[in-house]
Amino acid sequence: MNKKFLSIVAFICLLPISSHAGVVNDSTDNHLEDVSKNLDLFNLLFKELDAYYVDTFDTKKVIKSGIDAMVNELDPYTRYIPEEDEEDFNFMITGEYAGVGASIGKVGDYICFTEIYEGTPSHKNGIKAGDRIIEIAGKNASKLTINEVSENLRGEENTDVKLVLQNPNTGKQRKVTIKREKITLPTIEYCDTLENGIGYIRFSSFTEKSADLFKKAFLDLKENKKIESLIIDLRNNPGGLLDQATEIVNYFIDNQTAIVYTKSKVKALDETYKATKNPIDNKIPIVVLVNNNSASASEIFSGAMQDLDRAVIVGERTYGKGLVQSTRPLPFGGNLKVTISKYYIPSGRCVQAINYAERNEDGSVKRIPDSLTTEFKTKNGRIVRDGGGILPDVKMERKDLSTISYYLYKENIIFNYVVDYLANHSKIDNPKDFKYTEYDQFKAYAEKQKFSYKLRMEEYISSLKDIAKEEGYLDYAKDEFEALEKKLSHNLNQDLSLFEDEIRKLISIEIMKQLYYQKGYITESLKYDKAKEEAIKILKDKERYSSILQPKAKEEVKDDKNDKKASSKKESSKKNSK
């Protein structure tokens, strides 16, 4: 079916679905008449197409496409979830699924295991990153898509999946039968002390058990490792359940303190979330790390901690998702995940960065510019703003990878090299002190793979030449273009040396990831983490920490000193005049 038909379906379905969901307040006769008319029109339109369209079409697929087109007109978070997608939807909420506990991807001509999760069936069966899937459930894997292989790896708990795997180094094949288990991806990805009594907790999402797991991790650091301050890492945490975020905030603030409230079109759906328990620790200094991929519940947590002046926020501006979704059951086993409200953190601000209700003429949307945002105040009177995510108290600029590093990673050159490297280095005695030293070996490997890439400026020059040719200027500027291309052309060996430090880091992180799984990856990444280092500096400097959260208090102290000096001068002047 063509896009025009889907757009008609989307337009016609919009009001009826909203009415059916019970979220339309307008009960006027005109509105009800409009709803009834559109329902009849849609019903008739679809029957006419079904009866007279020249080819037979998949009814279920067309209706699903129409529904998707309709909800996509609203925002990226409202969507229809058919019964067959319920397992994936439940995984987003619980972080649990039944499978083998690994990630897969296309590496060269093969679908391979790219990451193994510790303690899972894949790990127990000795599967390594780089192992090629030759056959799965009796099917030739080379004829399957990644999604099809993934679907075969998943299944009901305690059922078997049979694989034929190939070792990428030796080429030898082996048969493996893996019993699927319930896989729970770790919410708390890493929990440890860093230095001088500073604890560190990094967690990946706000799922059903996040608050309990966080509490357990924090109490272990507090009671057993005697931490005196804490770093909470929410970078790349896309969010999740709102109640889990508020419960974790509650661990650090006084009972009955307002954390977040929601506003909906339906007043009955408005809610205010307050701390309902006494805190575990309302004094410990905290730094929260965020980046552009910290969204939703991550922004509720970091925003509430900022508004209540309970933590210093360090990193990049967050994503800017201030919308709340709820799931409503539909007939035939489906669900509608629908945006029902916006949330507002303690200062009264909403961090939503895009107004989906006001679109450009072409239907596109854009972020709210800073010039149109509004000032709010934190508990201590600090100025914060709405409409564009959480702006950190201490900003850290993101450093993008160089072009060569990006392509070495994207084209799996680093991944494949590490697979080969670990064939001869199966163990590293002291991971925390590990230093990768065989860089010349990697350079030779990259050159042997005939690795090539194109710099963005080379692409721009090529595009500029095409434009010059179209407009008749290419011959006129031929010498200049040739000189510029020669000046800016890259050299592989030169770039491998120029960006050696950056590439070394990527290699060492991949080595630790393949050897020691997620914990190894994080441990190695933290060695080069500038935001973590900044967080440590802030927590070590008590005066700086306090001045960030209470800048006005510092100014008042300064004013008091000036007042005392002025008063002293007046007294002295009086004495002299006497």
160 is known as an active-site residue: no
Q: Which of 205, 210, 229, 296 is catalytic?
A: 296
Q: Which tokens in the block code for residue 559?
A: 């004013």
Cα 77 to Cα 337: distance, rounded to the nearest angstrom: 7
Q: Which residue did the predictor score with more confidence, 339 or 10?
A: 339
575 is known as an active-site residue: no
Q: Are residues 192 and 302 in the same domain?
A: yes
Q: Are residues 198 and 107 in the same domain?
A: no
Model confidence band, residue 486 (pLDDT cutoffs 50, 70, 90): confident
Task: Name the range with the highest mean pLDDT among 183-187, 421-425, 530-534.
Answer: 530-534
Q: What is the pLDDT of residues 276-335, one digit of tens each?
A: 999 999 999 999 999 999 999 999 999 999 999 999 999 999 999 999 999 999 888 889
Q: Are residues 222 and 318 in the same domain?
A: yes
Q: Are residues 378 and 231 in the same domain?
A: yes
Q: Are residues 252 and 359 in the same domain?
A: yes
Q: Which of 75, 122, 294, 321 is catalytic?
A: 321
Contact, 222 vs 199, CB < 8 A? yes
Q: What is the pLDDT of residues 19-66, one digit of tens each?
A: 344 444 445 678 888 888 988 998 898 899 999 999 999 988 888 888
Q: Of 184, 218, 249, which residue sits at a domain end?
A: 184
- Asked whether residue 356 is assigned to any structural domain, the reply reads yes
Cα 12 to Cα 200: distance, rounded to the nearest angstrom: 51
Q: Are residues 234 and 356 in the same domain?
A: yes
- 388 φ, ψ (degrees, to nearest 5): 180, 40
Domain membership of residue 52 as a residue range = 3-73
Per-residue confidence (pLDDT) for residue 506, from 0 to 100: 97
- Asked whether residue 445 is assigned to any structural domain, the reply reads yes
Q: What is the pLDDT of residues 199-254, one digit of tens each?
A: 999 999 999 899 999 999 999 999 999 999 999 999 999 999 999 999 999 999 99
Q: Of 160, 184, 208, which residue sits at a domain end?
A: 184
User: Quick one: CA torsion of 24, 30, 35, 40, rounded to 10 degrees?
Assistant: 170
Percent of the chain exceeding pLDDT 70 equals 90
Q: Which of 233, 307, 386, 393 is catalytic?
A: 307
Q: What is the pLDDT of residues 339-379, one digit of tens each?
A: 999 999 999 999 999 988 887 877 778 788 888 889 999 99
Q: Are residues 477 and 346 in the same domain?
A: no
List Cβ neighbours of 247 (8 Å cut-off, separation of 6 or more).
211
Q: Are residues 220 and 142 in the same domain?
A: no
Terminal Cα-to-Cα distance of the chain (whole angstroms): 100
Per-residue confidence (pLDDT) for residue 566, from 0 to 100: 52
CATH number at residue 252: 3.90.226.10
Is the pLDDT at 129 greater than 60, yes or no? yes
- Asked whether residue 90 is assigned to any structural domain, the reply reads no
- Determine the 3-state secondary structure of 33 from DSSP: helix
296 is known as an active-site residue: yes
Per-residue confidence (pLDDT) for residue 180, from 0 to 100: 96
For the chain, how many structural domains are there in total?
Answer: 4
Q: What is the pLDDT of residues 249-276, one digit of tens each?
A: 999 999 999 999 999 989 999 999 999 9
- Asked whether residue 366 is assigned to any structural domain, the reply reads yes
Per-residue confidence (pLDDT) for residue 54, from 0 to 100: 94
Q: Are residues 448 and 353 in the same domain?
A: no
Q: Which residue did the predictor score with more confidence, 391 or 367?
A: 391
- Asked whether residue 574 is assigned to any structural domain, the reply reads no
Q: Of 127, 152, 184, which residue sits at a domain end?
A: 184
Q: Are residues 127 and 236 in the same domain?
A: no
**pLDDT (average), residues 524-530:** 95
Contact, 149 vs 162, CB < 8 A? no
